[in-house]
Amino acid sequence: MGVKKKKEMQVAALTICHQDLETLKSFADVEGKNLASLLLHCVQLTDGVSQIHYIKQIVPLLEKADKNGMCDPTIQSCLDILAGIYLSLSLKNPLKKVLASSLNSLPDFFLPEAMHRFTSRLQEELNTTDLYSYRKVTDNISSCMENFNLGRASVNNLLKNVLHFLQKSLIEILEENRKCAGNHIIQTQLMNDLLVGIRVSMMLVQKVQDFQGNLWKTSDSPIWQNMCGLLSIFTKVLSDDDLLQTVQSTSGLAIILFIKTMFHPSEKIPHLISSVLLRSVDCTSVPEWFMSSCRSLCCGDISQSAVLFLCQGTLAMLDWQNGSMGRSGEALLLDTAHVLFTLSSQIKEPTLEMFLSRILASWTNSAIQVLESSSPSLTDSLNGNSSIVGRLLEYVYTHWEHPLDALRHQTKIMFKNLLQMHRLTVEGADFVPDPFFVELTESLLRLEWHIKGKYTCLGCLVECIGVEHILAIDKTIPSQILEVMGDQSLVPYASDLLETMFRNHKSHLKSQTAESSWIDQWHETWVSPLLFILCEGNLDQKSYVIDYYLPKLLSYSPESLQYMVKILQTSIDAKTGQEQSFPSLGSCNSRGALGALMACLRIARAHGHLQSATDTWENLVSDARIKQGLIHQHCQVRIDTLGLLCESNRSTEIVSMEEMQWIQFFITYNLNSQSPGVRQQICSLLKKLFCRIQESSQVLYKLEQSKSKREPENELTKQHPSVSLQQYKNFMSSICNSLFEALFPGSSYSTRFSALTILGSIAEVFHVPEGRIYTVYQLSHDIDVGRFQTLMECFTSTFEDVKILAFDLLMKLSKTAVHFQDSGKLQGLFQAALELSTSTKPYDCVTASYLLNFLIWQDALPSSLSAYLTQQVACDNGDRPAAVVERNTLMVIKCLMENLEEEVSQAENSLLQAAAAFPMYGRVHCITGALQKLSLNSLQLVSEWRPVVEKLLLMSYRLSTVVSPVIQSSSPEGLIPMDTDSESASRLQMILNEIQPRDTNDYFNQAKILKEHDSFDMKDLNASVVNIDTSTEIKGKEVKTCDVTAQMVLVCCWRSMKEVALLLGMLCQLLPMQPVPESSDGLLTVEQVKEIGDYFKQHLLQSRHRGAFELAYTGFVKLTEVLNRCPNVSLQKLPEQWLWSVLEEIKCSDPSSKLCATRRSAGIPFYIQALLASEPKKGRMDLLKITMKELISLAGPTDDIQSTVPQVHALNILRALFRDTRLGENIIPYVADGAKAAILGFTSPVWAVRNSSTLLFSALITRIFGVKRAKDEHSKTNRMTGREFFSRFPELYPFLLKQLETVANTVDSDMGEPNRHPSMFLLLLVLERLYASPMDGTSSALSMGPFVPFIMRCGHSPVYHSREMAARALVPFVMIDHIPNTIRTLLSTLPSCTDQCFRQNHIHGTLLQVFHLLQAYSDSKHGTNSDFQHELTDITVCTKAKLWLAKRRLRNV
């Protein structure tokens, strides 16, 4: 709530070459008053902001000179240097714009000389031959054309040279891009240069005056030849699918622009472009230059993307306004629409789909422009009943719930423009009762409210025809919309629609009624349903209505607050009268009117609709009700009441004494909230209150300093500022006392979390930054020895959140906190941390990590640790804290590594003893924690860090080698290696042999006693089994014994692997890398990075324990992200090499392979997932495309049952990839193939394949229909229309139809026991998630009709659940108008009373289908509809004919 400090502007200083500097020095005068002196002083500055001041003085200085100054060599040289300065500055440097702005005001008599100098300098730039300098030259050309008169004139003078340079640069960039294939960093840079070059070429054509005439349009003109050359390059770029699509789309724009500029006569341009789009170019009738430059567009096979981008260029580059292109332009507009509709059924790549939606929206804009130019010939083609509008509506309905937000936004634009188009076609007529609008409104209202697109389209319709026509159809629409606001995914759409409707309604009522009586009708329509929800709705509804809808309503109609408060007060009083026998403060049993009142007041105050706190307490709500709300049994009432006290639209509003008392009252009873969401809201609201106190205290302090004692009462406070400040201080001290009292030993997690979070907010808000003279309160002043000890004891909590909060709070306090501890206690803290780091309890090592970090940052380490340093830190005073932290971190890490090295050596001899006495993962965790807090990119002790990093890597590998046999065991949960010191030579072999399970589980549950000097005999295994409680340790030369179980060994091993993986991943991510081996920069060498990659590869592909490979995946992801950004080409290509290697190993199915075929392929999916997810998203995603093709081919059915391992791996990997949200829409094109593989795999005779197929299918259902949000299995939220489903995945249409036919043919088998086809469940699971579309009934290649008979036959399944699913799946495939006939057909298939043989399953399945169809039909029709009543009568007659089935016992056959 405080005012943020404005960020200082950073400007890179300008520099000039040595020769220009010497020139300025030679011309500078002694007094320093001429232009050369000014520039010399300017370039000698190192601050860009100061240089701007001098640049602005150039023109005023030149204005003082007379016309004779044109011949002054000083001014001539200075103008030449200024031209050089301008061209040397980067495009985004503010100095460049300031210089251009100044030179635009240059006196006229200096312009010829300045233009000459600029032209000469620009010519030098154009002569450059360095390919990687082309971008700078191109940027200079661009900047010269942007609001810079001298630059534009210079480009005009050198137009031929500029065009030649652009042509040459684009050719060389394309060639260099081809040579650098595989180096995506260089390629990305080159493609961006290519994009800028194309854009600058377009800018020249649009802004240079020479192109407006026809003098250059001759074949021998150099400009014409360069233009033809550029057009040829653009055509080549458009057809090159290896380039970024942004580059291709810009080329499409450039091609149309160049054709528009070059082609003559202009009247034939629309026909030419239309023939190119329709691929019907007559090569004999087009000019030779066009054929030579665009031959691939005329004669070749144009890709879908190329046609799409040409459509974009057509709509963007041609002039559609005022009907300037005549009838041929209108024909081109219609042809473009048909081409786009054709592409919409073919394009499935997400990025191209996004382009297509934007282009279709652009087409509707162009159509509106043409219609506005009074084009009667297009009226029939573009009205609401035309085929084009029908296709556009179909596109909107198909994509209005697309996963991409941007695409959904385009459908809204399209729908809004469609309404505008139809209005233009019926202009002059009364368009409101127009059949198109009426039918559109009714079709939208018939849809379910769970469809997000319905809200958007209704909002557009309200803006077009007015809300009164919609309310005339159904007055309960506001209530219906409020009812669905319990679903979070629908809340934003519903609240936006409600806002659009109530705004439109108010405007309509005000225009229709002169008196104020309209407000009552408006309140009845919009406010009354809101109050009902606030009082009686469920918790989610109330919360979302308060957060989304109520603020919008009050912001638009603040006067409604009084009406709402009056209604709610009356309701509370009525309820209170009924409950006089229970007068306590928390007597309300439900949220009710009190909660609604608090919510309304809270929103009103937060948005500034209440003038002051006094108005709130005295006029609107009583003190008793405030207290009642603060301890109400419903958490949201408490939150709203607290929000009423804490929130304000003014950050400097004084907090009253009553508010402070109520806050103290609230904290007393609400710190122990069990709900995380409630705790978060409490802490957030209290932080807002503290910000108000801090901001208002600054105002009060200034008032006190200005000696306002004798002034009358001001508007901020009615008492003296010093009194208010003292009240603030007392209040904050009281709050802190309450919070520290809550941190007693044994306090609950929720209490500690709340108290520490609030204390952290206090320390953050009431800090003393530089420049602030006064702060009303400082937490450090209230910290004594006892409270410091209380915070330190929070480190012992078993919850890491508490440790984090305590650590952060201690860091925010003054470093004087360490004075509460003497050196002996600090030494004890350090020793305790070291001991905790080897505890067998995992949370103890987390405590150790925070303790060590606290000692590091407080500079409170024992002096004995300084022996670990060989180089002292040299630092300035400003860098001293960072240097001290680096020194302390280095000492602690060396100490931990020394201990870890000794423990790893012992573990190499006896892993069991290590697991029981000193599990090593704690040491690694502490090392990782210390490094995470350190800025590893700005280390000073680099020479000391390098050997530490090297040793740390080797130590990690050693530790991993010790524990990996357990993790890589086929059964790590039960493996317990038996080893002793005397058997160190055969230790590894014994671990690899793996002790096998015995007859009972006692072997794995009870402890084993290891004797230090006794040999271990496999035959004496049973003798070594003792009770788990046995644990002794005899010192000296006596026998040592320790208890250890398989679980302890496993925990030690997988946690060690976890910590090593996280450490290595963090080192790769944070440590600077050496560019070359001998470089003094960086800490990680290229070889070390490769070794880390090999480590991750080995353990991800061979580990069996999920905890181990999941955490290894986390570290590996960090490594792959670094490799993909690395400029080193050999490192950059490592992920690709690793990917091909593992794919080959999967395909070969070698029996000797160590890849895990069980445990859902263990770490293999994670490994491939990390490699693909880190691939740059802005590129072509080639790795993903190739990998998916390989996996899809492997996942398909195979004839060889013996070699199903590759298929299982492929199915498991596909599951992981489809679940990965980072791949986003890039994975969608492969959903159809994945679904085919899953459904076909479900029929495999091999259990492993069926199991993996089931898991894959589950992931695909989530990917297609979204994450399940409702508990109801048949909820309508995770569904889509059949038209949308088959439009997005057209390949599934014939596949599902064929599979369904196969399934249906097996249902009615007469061969004894019915054949239960395994794929039936999967097929029906997909089909039942579809629902009817508003466009059902229109012709479509993806007709739902063929599915109907097969689904009906599936309803005869002997499996009850399958019959239910078939009944639900049938509904979306039958159009609403066809439901009565379908029901009659189904009823006719039921047996008659004369039939002797029938099956109960068939009857039950048919009746279920009739029931669901009838239910859908009644929901879609109004009960008073005469057609509905007639159809219902016919169905009733048919049903009565089959009532005999209910009057006799049926045979269950």
- Give the model's pLDDT for residue 335: 94
Range from 232-236, 280-284, 356-360, 1188-1192 carrying the lowest mean pLDDT = 280-284
Mean pLDDT, residues 778-782:
84
* Inter-CA distances, 12 with 24, 45, 52, 96, 1032, Å: 21, 11, 11, 11, 71
Confidence of residue 69 (pLDDT cuts 50, 70, 90): low
Q: CB–CB of 1070/934 below 8 Å?
A: no
197/520: higher pLDDT: 197
- Give the model's pLDDT for residue 212: 65
- Give the model's pLDDT for residue 366: 93
- Give the model's pLDDT for residue 1336: 61
1005: tokens are 């549950």
Half-sphere exposure of 585 (CA within 13 A, CB side): 14
> What are the tens digits of pLDDT across the range 1332-1364?
776 665 556 667 778 888 888 888 888 888 888
* Residue 448 confidence (pLDDT) above 90: no
Closest CA to 1166 of 1107, 1237, 1229: 1107
Helix axes 842-857, 823-836, angle to 10 degrees: 150
- Give the model's pLDDT for residue 991: 42
Q: What are phi and psi of 407, to 5 degrees?
A: -70, -40
- 3-state SS string over 1371-1384? HHHCCHHHHHHHHH
* Residue 1317 confidence (pLDDT) above 80: no
CA dihedral 362, 366, 371, 375 (to 10 degrees): -140
Confidence (pTM): 0.82
Secondary structure letter of residue 515 according to DSSP: S
Render the burial of 693-729: b for 16+ CB within 10 Å, e for the rest: bbbbbbbbbebbeeeeeeeeeeeebeeebeebbebbb
892/999: higher pLDDT: 892
696/939: higher pLDDT: 696
> What are the tens digits of pLDDT across the range 1399-1411?
788 888 888 988 8
- Give the model's pLDDT for residue 996: 31
> What are the tens digits of pLDDT across the range 523-563?
999 999 999 888 888 888 888 998 899 999 999 988 888 88
* Inter-CA distances, 190 with 135, 195, 197, 1235, Å: 9, 9, 10, 39
- Give the model's pLDDT for residue 1347: 87
> What are the tens digits of pLDDT across the range 360-382?
999 999 999 998 887 777 888 88
Of the chain, the percentage scoring pLDDT greater than 90 comes to 24
1017: tokens are 């005999």
Cβ-proximal residues to 130 (8 Å cutoff; 6+ apart), any chain: none
Closest CA to 450 of 1275, 1261, 1273, 1266: 1275
Q: CB–CB of 967/1108 below 8 Å?
A: yes
- Give the model's pLDDT for residue 431: 53
Cβ-proximal residues to 583 (8 Å cutoff; 6+ apart), any chain: none
Within its chain, how far is the Cα of 374 from the centroid? 45
* Inter-CA distances, 627 with 134, 579, 666, 893, Å: 71, 17, 8, 54
- Give the model's pLDDT for residue 1201: 62
* Residue 1072 confidence (pLDDT) above 70: yes
- 3-state SS string over 579-592? CCCCCCCCCCCCCH
d(C-alpha 447, C-alpha 1420), whole Å? 8
Cβ-proximal residues to 209 (8 Å cutoff; 6+ apart), any chain: 156
d(C-alpha 384, C-alpha 393), whole Å? 10
Q: What are phi and psi of 828, to 5 degrees?
A: -65, -40
Closest CA to 987 of 963, 1021, 960: 963
* Residue 930 confidence (pLDDT) above 70: yes
- Give the model's pLDDT for residue 168: 94
Confidence of residue 504 (pLDDT cuts 50, 70, 90): very high
Confidence of residue 1449 (pLDDT cuts 50, 70, 90): low
> What are the tens digits of pLDDT across the range 647-662?
888 888 888 888 899 9
> What are the tens digits of pLDDT across the range 837-877?
888 888 888 899 999 988 888 887 877 777 777 655 554 44
- Give the model's pLDDT for residue 871: 59
d(C-alpha 1336, C-alpha 1372), whole Å? 9
* Residue 1423 confidence (pLDDT) above 60: no
* Residue 506 confidence (pLDDT) above 80: yes
β-bridge mates for residue 1008, sequence order: 1025
* Residue 1382 confidence (pLDDT) above 90: no
> What are the tens digits of pLDDT across the range 1128-1157?
788 888 888 888 888 888 888 666 666 776
- Give the model's pLDDT for residue 1032: 33
- Give the model's pLDDT for residue 1019: 37
Q: Is 948 exposed, middle or buried (0-12, 13-18, 19+ CB in 10 A)?
A: middle
Other beta carbons within 10 Å of 676: 11
218: tokens are 């001759």
Q: What are phi and psi of 1338, to 5 degrees?
A: -80, 155
* Residue 1044 confidence (pLDDT) above 50: yes
Longest dimension (CA), the chain: 125
Secondary structure letter of residue 492 according to DSSP: H
Q: CB–CB of 180/162 below 8 Å?
A: no
> What are the tens digits of pLDDT across the range 1003-1016?
333 334 344 433 33
349: tokens are 């790549």
Q: What is the DSSP string of 1409-1432?
A: HHHHHHHHHHHHS-TT-HHHHHHH
d(C-alpha 745, C-alpha 794), whole Å? 9
β-bridge mates for residue 1033, sequence order: 1040
Within its chain, how far is the Cα of 513 from the centroid? 48
1336 in helix, strand or coil?
Answer: strand
Confidence of residue 127 (pLDDT cuts 50, 70, 90): very high
Q: Tell whether omega for the bond before 107 is within 30 degrees of 0, i.e. cis.
A: no
1136: tokens are 């690709």
d(C-alpha 853, C-alpha 1075), whole Å? 31
Mean pLDDT, residues 30-55:
85
Range from 687-701, 1026-1040, 1232-1246 carrying the lowest mean pLDDT = 1026-1040
> What are the tens digits of pLDDT across the range 1266-1297?
887 666 656 667 788 888 888 888 899 899 99
**End-to-end Cα, the chain, rounded Å:** 74
Q: CB–CB of 1187/1181 below 8 Å?
A: no
Helix axes 435-446, 405-425, angle to 10 degrees: 150
Q: CB–CB of 527/553 below 8 Å?
A: yes
